[in-house]
Amino acid sequence: MPPATRPKVRAVQTVTIKSTPIDGQKPGTSGLRKKTRVFMQPGYLENFVQAIWQGIGGPKGKTFVVGGDGRFFNDSAIQIILRMAAAGQATRVIVGQNGLLSTPAASHLIRLRGTDGGIILSASHNPGGPDEDFGIKFNMANGGPANETLTDRIFAATQTITGYDTLQTPDIDLARLGETHLGDMVVEVVDPVTDYAALMETLFDFDAIRGWFQSGHNMRFDAMHAVTGPYAKEILERRLGAPKGTVLNATPLPDFGGGHPDPNPIWAKPLVDMVMGADAPDFAAASDGDGDRNMILGRGVYVTPSDSLAVLAANAHLTPGYAAGLVGVARSMPTSGAVDRVAKARGMACFETPTGWKFFGNLLDDRRITLCGEESAGTGSNHVREKDGLWAVLLWLNILATTGQSVTTLLADHWRAFGRNFYSRHDYEAVDSDTATDLMNGLRAKLATLPGQSLSAGQIVDADEFAYDDPVDGSRSAGQGLRVMFDTGARLVFRLSGTGTEGATIRVYLEAFTDDPARFGDTPETALSAIIDSAETLMPIKSATGRKGPDVTT
């Protein structure tokens, strides 16, 4: 059936609103994130959208994708963006029904429809609500997050803004599929799931996964009352035949049901408790607010994101979309070296990039890599230019269905083949910004003196501040985190995170390696105890902040 159409909106009037620069609108690795009430201030969102228009050379004659994770203010923000796009003479804006689009689905839609980019409204894994967090970012025509050159232009525009254009019109009905007009601009409301689900069917053996369910295997997927609920219901329960109820917390809510939509053992504890219980499912997974992160679990086992990336890299060739093999892999610098060992054994290129998905974009576009991932539960491939939580879950399901192995057996076989990288991340959240800066500067100042010193984790063989030279465009990204490497294969990384909205988050990444099969069964607490002790010696976070331990451990 052709899409439904609605009458053209009449009597529109373009209005120019005078404005002045607003401090603090510098986009981070994932766009601009602030408290929701900050974005709700008159002119705040409008200023940043105008800066986006200036950064990309204006919206005139262009087509964009717009959508978000459904968090509080998502619907109102979209109406603002639509009016400003129409006032700027954009040709068309494609919007997910009810304003919903997962981040990977938005990336796919940008690529599928050949648009000039898209605006995604989300604060990812951060809580939602009037007193919680909101975010906005621009994705480029390749479907990936804006690169540093563009974000620098956008930030520069926020500092010189004098006004913005908008329309005085009623809100567009985003619940109704089809086309309508806002002034001379076409607004096309599309089902947010259909195109994404069709893409997944081209990558994975749905018959094999369907057979896995039919043979009696079961799983649980926790959508955390976030955007992946409708996607998981359609793909897992309808297309793959998983029993009704497989998808938990499937309805997207503006406040994520009062929860914290971060798929890790802390915020998704009920799911972790379920897999550790007597009636555990064979497989379990969760995704975050905007659908780009994932947590993988098996019966009685939690799979770290670093291990998940390595296992997927070793087994992706078992699925239709990756049957030809991987041309290369990439990981963010804080991610463990587990995938490096797979790449070396398989003769694949392996790249180490700064944190932030945009750094994978050039490698994917230049066809240097097929698979990539971050330790913060993000995994993806060349099918889109964003990390993709549900895609990772389907890749795991396809591998389980093809091999007939359990998650536990698959992990054990992987460690026997490549060794085990024990890994954890300790987050100290909302630390006073000056204190956090002082701690980082203190370690930075003594990096050159560390090699040769012995700590609990072994002798330090190298210490530096990571910088990345992009092999595709030659750009350099400095100041990406402090690294300390030990002769035992252990490693420590310290970073200040840019994804929070209050104070500073200090992230400490802890890694220890063993190729001794007798130690593969060690608990992470045992395996990482020496590196944890060394971390506090190098950066005394607990004594400086008065805290007994990290706020979040993953």
Sheet holding 378-381, edge to edge: 349-353, 328-332, 371-374, 378-381
The one-letter amino acid at 440:
M
Q: Which of 28, 74, 69, 37 is nearest to 357 (CA)?
A: 28
> Could you tell me which residues come within 8 angstroms of residue 6 by beta carbon, excluding any fewer than 6 positions away?
173, 176, 178, 179, 180
The one-letter amino acid at 318:
L
Report whether 250 contacts 230 (CB < 8 A).
yes
Quote the pLDDT of residue 350: 98
The DSSP line for 340-379 is: HHHHHHHT-EEEEE-SSTHHHHHHHHTTS-SEEEETTTEE
Backbone angles phi, psi at 460, to 5 degrees: -75, 125
- How many angstroms separate the CA atoms of 215 and 282, rounded? 12
pTM of the model: 0.92
Q: State the CB neighbour count (10 A cutoff) for residue 61.
A: 11
Backbone angles phi, psi at 426, to 5 degrees: -110, 120
Positions of E strands within 89-177: 92-100, 118-121, 133-139, 163-167
Report whether 331 contacts 373 (CB < 8 A).
yes
Would you tell me the crossing angle of helices 338-346 and 407-418 to the nearest 10 degrees? 70
Q: Which of 548, 215, 233, 222 is nearest to 404 (CA)?
A: 215
Write out pLDDT tens, residues 102-148: 999 999 999 999 999 999 999 999 999 999 999 999 999 999 999 88
- How many angstroms separate the CA atoms of 401 and 355, rounded? 32
Task: Supply the Cα-derived Rg of the chain in whole angstroms.
Answer: 23
The one-letter amino acid at 412:
A
Quote the pLDDT of residue 502: 66
- How many angstroms separate the CA atoms of 427 and 554, rounded? 8
Q: Which of 272, 277, 325 is nearest to 303 (CA)?
A: 272
Q: State the CB neighbour count (10 A cutoff) for residue 473.
A: 10
The tens place of each residue's pLDDT in the chain, 554 residues long, gives 334 444 344 457 899 999 999 999 999 878 999 999 999 999 999 999 999 999 999 999 999 999 999 999 999 999 999 999 999 999 999 999 999 999 999 999 999 999 999 999 999 999 999 999 999 999 999 999 998 899 999 999 999 999 999 999 999 999 999 999 999 999 999 999 999 999 999 999 999 999 999 999 999 999 999 999 999 999 999 999 999 999 999 999 999 999 999 999 989 999 999 999 999 999 999 999 999 999 999 999 999 999 999 999 999 999 999 999 999 999 999 999 999 999 999 999 999 999 888 889 999 999 999 999 999 899 999 999 999 999 999 999 999 999 999 999 999 999 999 999 999 999 999 899 999 999 999 999 999 999 999 999 999 999 999 999 999 999 898 999 999 999 999 999 999 985 555 688 999 999 999 999 999 999 999 999 999 999 999 999 999 999 999 988 88
**How far is residue 123 from each of residues 73, 126, 441, measured CA to CA in Å?**
12, 6, 28
Q: CA geometry: angle at 473 spanning 467 and 477, to 5°?
A: 20
- How many angstroms separate the CA atoms of 359 and 30, rounded? 11
Report whether 422 contacts 303 (CB < 8 A).
no
- How many angstroms separate the CA atoms of 11 and 298, rounded? 58
Place of tokens 């610098």: 333
Q: Where are the alpha helices (DSSP H) in 281-424?
A: 305-315, 338-346, 358-365, 389-403, 407-418
Report whether 424 contacts 510 (CB < 8 A).
yes
> Could you tell me which residues come within 8 angstroms of residue 165 by beta carbon, excluding any fewer than 6 positions away?
14, 15, 16, 17, 84, 87, 88
Catalytic pick from 30, 102, 124, 376? 124
Q: State the CB neighbour count (10 A cutoff) for residue 493.
A: 25
Quote the pLDDT of residue 498: 56
475 carries an active-site annotation: no
Q: Which two tokens stand for residue 311?
A: 């296992």
Backbone angles phi, psi at 51, to 5 degrees: -65, -35
Q: List, in order of start, the domains of the chain with CATH numbers.
A: 5-192 (3.40.120.10), 196-418 (3.40.120.10), 420-553 (3.30.310.50)
